[in-house]
Structure 1
Amino acid sequence: MSRTVTDVESLWEAVDLHTAAIGSKVVGWRHHLHAHPELANRERDTAALVARHLCSLNLDEVRTGVAGYGVVGVLRGGLPGDRVAALRADVDALPVREDSGVDFASTVVDEDYPGGPFPVAHACGHDCHTAMLMGAAEVLSDLRSELPGTVLFVFQPAEEGPPVDEVGGARAMVASPALLDPAPTMVFGLHVVPLPTGIVGYRVGRLLAASCLVRITVRGHRTHASTPWLGADPMPPAAEIVSACGQLYRQVPATSPITVSIGHVEDAGRFNVVGASVVLWGTLRCLDPSDMDTVRDRLRRAAEHIALAHGCRAGVEYLQSVPPVENSPSWTSAVLPTLRRVVGESRVKRTEAVLGYDDVSELIDAFGGVFVLLGCQDTEYVGGALRAIPGQRGAATNHDPAFYADDSVLATGTRLYSHVAVDHVTGRLDPALVDQPGPPAF
C-alpha cells in the first residue's frame, strides 16, 4: 500500500485508512498474544513475534534483547526532522488463572517461574497494547517517505515487575543504549481500563501512584503443632501484620491516598508443624511520593513490634520502587487536540488519579511525554458516574481473572499511537507551542 502525502491532514487520513485496512490483522495478533501469555522477563515468544513483524516492515533497525526481551523498532522518516516519538507498549502477562469467557482465553501454566507453577493470563490488557503498537508500526512504515524525524516502537518487558532477584522493566530500558540512539523527544503510552469502550481518559499531574514491592519475613522457632509453647509461632504475628497494613492509611493525611496490600503468603510449616518463618509479599502505593518514607517507616515499626510481642523477629524489605506517572500541564495541553481529533471531543474525559502504577513513569521522567487511559469495556457514564451497561459484560478491573477488552478498541489504540507520532514529528504536538502552561480547559 503506497501513496503520496503532501500535508499533515492527508497523513491523518492515510493513518485512518490504513488502520481500517489492517484491522483484522491487529485483532488476530491480539488473540494470539492473549492465548499465549508470558510472565515478566520470560516474554521470549512474544518478543520473537514482535521482532518478526517489525523486520517484515523493513524498518531501519530492529533492536532485540533490550533489557531482557524488549524490542525497539526504529523508523527514520524520509524528510528531515529532529523530533523522535517513542511509542511504548508493555508486553508481559500476569500469574492469574483466566476467567474471561472468551474463546481465545489462556490455558497456559508456567511450571518454571520462581514461586510457581503459575497459571498465566493477559489480565491487564498488555496483549492489546502490543497488538495496537504492532499495527501502528505497520501504518507508519507505509508513510515513512512523508514523515520527518524518527519513530521508535518500544515494546517493553516486565512492566508487572520481574522476579525479585532479577532486573528488568522500563528502568532497565532507559539505561539501555538501544533507547538512546536517537534519544526520544517524547514518550507516549496508553493503558486499557474498564472505562466505556473508546473513551480516552487523561489527567494533569499525577495519574498513577508511586509503588514499591514489600517483603516482610517473620521468623520464629519451629516446634510440633501440639506444643506451640515450646516454640515461637510466626503465623499469628504475620496475621496481625496483615491486619495492621489496613490501618496505615490512618497515619497519613486523609488528602494523601495510600494503600498497603499483602497479596501472597509463604509458610515454611505444615498442618502439624509450627514453621520457622512466614514471608508476606505485598505492594505499597502512595499518590504523593513524599509519603513513601513515612509509610515505609510506620510499616517497618509495626511489623517489628508485632513480631516481638509474639517472641518472633520481623524484617521488612522494600524492592522495585517505581515513581508515579505524572503528566505535566504543558504536555497534556499539547496532546489534547490529538486525542480529541482521534476519538471526538466528547469522548475525551478528565479522570481521577488512581493507586495503580505503571513504570512508563521511568520513560516519561527521562524524556518527557504523556500517558493516557483507554476504555475497553461495556460500561457507560450515567449522571457523571461510571456504570455497567445492563445486560452486557459490565466492568472487570485490571488484574481480575474476568478482565476483558473489546476488540473494537484495538483500532482506536492503533490510531492514537499513529496520530500522536505524526503530530509530534511534524511539530504539531510540542509543549513549547502551548501558550499557557497551566491546566488545560475542560
Structure 2
Amino acid sequence: MATIPPSRSPIKPLLALSLLWLAIGTQASAGSGDPWADLPAQVDTLLPGVIELRHAIHRHPELGNREFKTAERIARRLRELGFEVQTGVAHTGVVGVLKGGQPGPVVAIRAELDALPLTEQTGLAYASTLRAKDEGNDLRSRGKDVGVMHACGHDAHMAMAIGVAEVLAAHRDALPGTLKLIFQPAEEGPPLGEQGGAALMIKQGVLQAPAPEVIFGIHVTAGTAGTFTLSKARTTASADTFVARITGRQTHAAFPWTGIDPVPVAAQIILAWQTIPSRQSNLSVLPAPVISVGRLEGGDRHNIIPAEIRLEGSIRTISDEQREDVLKRMSNTAQSIAQASGATATVEYLPGGYRSGYNDTALAERMLPVLQQVSGTPVKIDNGTYGADDFAEYARQIPGLFMRMGVTPPALQDKPVWPTHSPGFQVDDPSLATGIKALSLMTLRYMRGEGQ
C-alpha cells in the first residue's frame, strides 16, 4: 500500500468535523433523539477494549486457513454482542449478522483473519513469538518453520470491525437496517493446493441470506496516523506469481560453446520483459503493468555452466484485459528468446492470484464527506495502488468501497518507517478510533439513505 503524506492544515477540517456531528445528529434525530449523536465519545469510551483485543490477536497470529483460535475469539465476542454467528465459512471464516430494530438495507464490512510468515522485529511488549509451518506458495520457505506476524494490519482490521459491532449493537433497536460483518480467512493466500479467501467465501454464500447492498473495507498502511487515501475508481492491482525455467545444456565454464548457457538467456529475458510495460502496453488507456523478478536461482559451482536458471517474480496489472495480455506476452517473449539460443523456456503462473479491484464511484462520492470529517485532515484522492487485495472479489459482485488509512505511530513519523509486509510494521493504536468512526458513520449514512 502507498504511503499517505501528512496533512497540511487540520484546523478548518476540525471545525467542519464538529459541524458534521451536529448535522448527523440533527438529520437523524427527527425530534426523537439519535443514540449515535455522540458517536465519537462512544468510540473513545470503548477504545481501550478494542486496543486490548488487537494486542491479543497480534500476540497470537495464525496463517491462512489455519486461523482457528482467532476465529474462536471473534465469534465469541460477536455472540456476546448479540450477533447471529456463522463459523467455518471457507474453512475458518466467521460471519456475524446484527438485525436492527428498524427496517433498512443490509450493509457489510469485511476484515481479514490471517497473518504472514514473518519473524517480528518490532520489539513491542505484545510482539508475536509464534512459529508455524509455512504451507504457502513461496518456493523458498514452503514446508519450513517460520515466524508468524500480523505484518499487514489484519489485527487492526478485525479490531476496528469489532469496534463497529460494539457501537451499533449498543443501540440495536434504533439501527435502521442489518449489519453483516465478514471475517475472512486467507486473504494473503491459502496453503498450496487449497481454496480460500474471498472467492471461496463468495462461493459458499457470504453475499447471500441476507444479501448486502454494499460492502466497506479499510486497509491500514504506513502513513500519517488517522488520514485516509481514497480512489473513486481503480483501487488495487491484480497480482500473479510466476516461475520461469530457462533450460540449456550444462558444460565446463572454460568451453561454453560445447553447451548452451542459460544465464545470458535468462538475462535477456528479464530485460525484454521490461519492454512490455514501456514499449508494448498502451499507456494512453491504462497505467503500465509492473513485472518484477524477485529471485534468480541456478548453478552448482563457479566453473560449471548450469543446466537451468529459475526466475521467480510478481506481475501487477490494472485490468483483466491487461492481465491476460501481459501473461501471454511474457510467455511468448521467454520462449522466443530461449529458442534463438537453442535453449527452452517455460513460464508457470501459480494459482491463487488476485484480480484487480475497483470502487463504486457513486458510493465513493457519497461517503467521501464522512471520511473527510472523521479524519479531520484532507482525504487524499488517488488512482489506486499496485498493491493487491481480494476485497476486489466482493466489489465485483456488489458496490464496494475500499480505502487506505495511515497508522504510523507519531513517534516514528520522522524516522525510516517499515511498510506493511515487513517485520517492523507498527500500528498506532489511537488511530483505530478513526477507523471505527468512519465505518460506523458510513454504515449509518447508507442505512438512513443520506447523501443520495
Distance in 2 (CA, whole Å) between partners of 1:172 and 1:304 is 34
Query: What is the aligned partner in structure 1 of residue 55 from structure 2?
Result: 31
Query: What is the aligned partner in structure 1 of residue 181 from structure 2?
Result: 153
Query: Is residue 106 of structure 2 the alignment partner of residue 84 of structure 1?
Result: yes
Distance in 2 (CA, whole Å) between partners of 1:45 and 1:424 is 33
Gaps of 5+ in 2: 1-25, 137-141
Helix, strand or coil: the match of 1:129? helix
Helix, strand or coil: the match of 1:170? helix
Higher mean Cα deviation, 306-315 or 357-366?
306-315
Q: Is the 8 A contact 1:379 1:395 kept in 2?
A: no
When residues 29 and 379 of structure 1 are mapped into structure 2, their CA distance, relative to the original with a 3 A threshold, is closer
When residues 210 and 227 of structure 1 are mapped into structure 2, their CA distance, relative to the original with a 3 A threshold, is same
Query: Is residue 398 of structure 2 the alignment partner of residue 367 of structure 1?
Result: yes
Distance in 2 (CA, whole Å) between partners of 1:121 and 1:242 is 32
Query: What is the aligned partner in structure 2 of residue 94 from structure 1?
Result: 116
Query: Is residue 143 of structure 2 the alignment partner of residue 116 of structure 1?
Result: yes
Q: Deviations over 1:353-381 (max 9, x none)?
A: 2211111111112011211111111579x
Q: Is the 8 A contact 2:109 2:216 kept in 1?
A: yes
The match for 1:353 among 378, 384, 389 is 384
Query: What is the aligned partner in structure 1 of residue 11 from structure 2?
Result: none
Q: Deviations over 1:306-355 (max 9, x none)?
A: 443554432223333433221232111111122233223x3322234221
Deviation, 1:257, is: 2.2
The match for 2:361 among 329, 333, 340 is 329
When residues 145 and 283 of structure 1 are mapped into structure 2, their CA distance, relative to the original with a 3 A threshold, is same
Query: What is the aligned partner in structure 1 of residue 352 from structure 2?
Result: 320
Query: What is the aligned partner in structure 1 of residue 449 from structure 2?
Result: 427
Query: What is the aligned partner in structure 2 of residue 252 from structure 1?
Result: 281
Query: What is the aligned partner in structure 2 of residue 295 from structure 1?
Result: 326
Query: What is the aligned partner in structure 2 of residue 22 from structure 1?
Result: 46
Deviation, 1:244, is: 4.2
Q: TM-score, normalised by structure 1?
A: 0.83
Deviation, 1:67, is: 1.3
Q: Is the 8 A contact 1:34 1:127 kept in 2?
A: yes
Q: Deviations over 1:291-319 (max 9, x none)?
A: 22221122112222344355443222333
Distance in 2 (CA, whole Å) between partners of 1:33 and 1:230 is 59
CA RMSD of aligned residues (A): 3.0
Q: Is the 8 A contact 1:378 1:395 kept in 2?
A: no
Helix, strand or coil: the match of 2:218? strand
Distance in 2 (CA, whole Å) between partners of 1:314 and 1:138 is 55
Query: What is the aligned partner in structure 1 of residue 433 from structure 2?
Result: 411
Deviation, 1:135, is: 1.7
Q: Deviations over 1:245-301 (max 9, x none)?
A: 44432232445221112335676x755998765554332112344322221122112
